[in-house]
Amino acid sequence: MFGIGMPELIVILVIALIVIGPKKLPDLAKSLGRAINEFKKATREFKDSMDMDDDIKTLKKPFKEITNDLKGSLKTPVPTMTDKKEDVSAAPATFSTPEPPPNAVPPVSAAEHYPADAASDPQSDPKSNLDRDKMNE
């Protein structure tokens, strides 16, 4: 214990008894014991927090590696259309619609597909056809 033997400890206690007095010495010893206990508790908590910091560092390491990999991949240039040097002069100047295959189904009109729209058309309405016939007579 810091190189203090039993004779030195007895000398220190006798001097403390003379200086402080027998009435206050037990209170001083009690407060000194509490202070040492608080110091040990604070030291233990500090060690635990340092262990947590180490644990957090080990958890952060893979995330830092992933982040660095992503940053590295973003720094590499992405090929664009301007990087490709193709001869576009051979491309046709006009665009035409492709011919349908020989066995293709002919397109269907919207009236055949959507009868509700056809019903709202005044020319396809049977009443308007009757009115038109009467007017022609």
Count of structural domains within the chain: 1
- 10 pLDDT higher than 60: yes
80 is a domain residue:
no
pLDDT at residue 19 is higher than 70 = yes
**Closest among 61, 40, 43 to 51, alpha carbons compared:** 43
Q: Give the C-alpha separation, 50 to 83, whole Å.
A: 52
- Residue 25, Cβ neighbours under 10 Å: how many? 14
Higher-confidence position of 15 and 127: 15
Return left, alpha or beta for 97; rule: phi > 0 is left, psi -120 to 50 is alpha, else beta.
beta
Say whether pLDDT at 131 is over 90.
no
Confidence (pTM): 0.35
pLDDT tens digits for range 31-82 = 999 999 999 999 999 888 888 877 788 888 888 888 888 887 777 666 666 6
* In the block, residue with structure tokens 């910091």: 53
- Do the domain assignments include residue 64? yes
In a domain, 9, yes or no: no
Residues 28 and 20: beta-carbon distance below 8 Å: yes
pLDDT number for residue 112 = 64
Highest mean pLDDT among 12-26, 58-72, 118-132: 12-26
- Domain extent, residue 36, equals 24-72
Angstrom CA distances, 46 to 49, 51, 53, stand at 5, 9, 10
